[in-house]
Chains A and B, each alone.
Chain A
Amino acid sequence: MAGALGLNGLIALFVSAILFTIGVIGVLLRRNAIIVFMCIELMLNAANLSLVAFSRMHGIEGQIFVFFVMAVAAAEAAVGLAIIIAIFRHYEVVDLDRFRLLKW
């Protein structure tokens, strides 16, 4: 595998796994909704990194998929931040523990 991907490709895969895990840690450990959202962006970026590393091995389709991931991430960031603003108008905080409208 290291032959087809190269040492740098292997390092990219490991960095992608570690960045994704740091993103998961941030989502699980933080209460600030905006920082949780930033950690989701970090996880998307980590996925993009592994897609680019694999695109070296399998052709250009990986980079095209990264392009679409970025478009969807832009849309998601806009809508998510609008939701955070709308929630902030109601509760005056962005603390995730305070939003229990859907909890039973």
Chain B
Amino acid sequence: MIQDFLFQAFAAGSILGAVIMVTRRNPVSAVIFLVGVFFATSGMFLMLDAHYIAAINVILYGGAIMVLFLFVLMLLNLGHADWRDLRGPVGGLIGGSISIAFLGVLTRLFVGGTDARPVVELAGSALREAAAEQGVVGVVARPLFTEYTIVLEVTGVLLLVSMVGTILLARRERGVGERERT
């Protein structure tokens, strides 16, 4: 009962935080509210028996990526509110109508679309039993290192490539730097 209440509180909090985040003009407060949204979704992951995912959601999203955003805001000195940031009424109308149509499609998909498909009755209890047997991390790690090893290795290569690409992109060009020095 308390779990249900917490889950619904986290759900409401995440939606509220997202709405506040989209409407803030100051980018720094948008980042702070996005961190709040990530914490709330981590709480929802916890209630949905995905403990490891909840942990890395806080560490990776709420910690690393959001700190990266704050660093970029600080480096580029963009922490002030910009009044030209929000689009005008025409853009608002187009964006709002597209979004409402999108929400309708998603809701229709989630409510009606899944009824026809065969549902495997492997409910949360099976996941919970596996987690009690192998540990919360083990239940994710075991298939990761047996069935999905190649995918894991390819992900490592992807991270390496993105690291090299980031350094190349963000590096100051040599000609520009020399001109500034002289």
User: Which residues of A are interface residues toward B (Cβ below 8 A)?
Assistant: 1, 4, 6-15, 17-26, 28-32, 34-35, 37-39, 41-42, 45, 48-50, 52-53, 55-61, 63-64, 66-68, 70-79, 81-86, 88-89, 94-95
Contact = CB atoms under 8 A, between A and B. Distances in A.
B169 A56 contact: no
Interface of B: 4, 7-8, 11, 14-15, 18-19, 21-22, 27, 30-31, 34, 37-38, 41, 44-45, 47-50, 52-53, 56-57, 60-61, 64-65, 68-69, 72-73, 75-76, 78, 82, 84-87, 91-92, 94-96, 98-99, 102-103, 106-107, 110-111, 114-115, 119-124, 126-127, 130, 139-140, 143-144, 148, 151, 155, 158-159, 161-163, 165-167, 169-170, 172
Contacts, number: 223
Contacts of A45: 37-38, 41, 57, 61
Contacts of A35: 27, 30, 85
Contacts of B144: 64, 67
A42 to B, nearest CB: 6
A78 B57 contact: no
A63 B50 contact: yes
A30 B22 contact: yes
B136 to A, nearest CB: 11
A85 B107 contact: no
5 contacts: A12-B48, A20-B102, A52-B45, A56-B124, A59-B126
A17 B163 contact: no
B69 A81 contact: yes
Q: Of residues B45, B57, B140, B169, which shows the largest number of chain A Cβ atoms within 10 Å of its Cβ?
A: B169
Given A12-B44, A67-B56, A74-B65, A4 B165 contact: no
Contact of A57 (B85, B123, B139): B123
A74 B159 contact: yes
Given A22-B18, A22-B22, A95 B84 contact: yes
Contact of B72 (A22, A23, A60, A85): A85
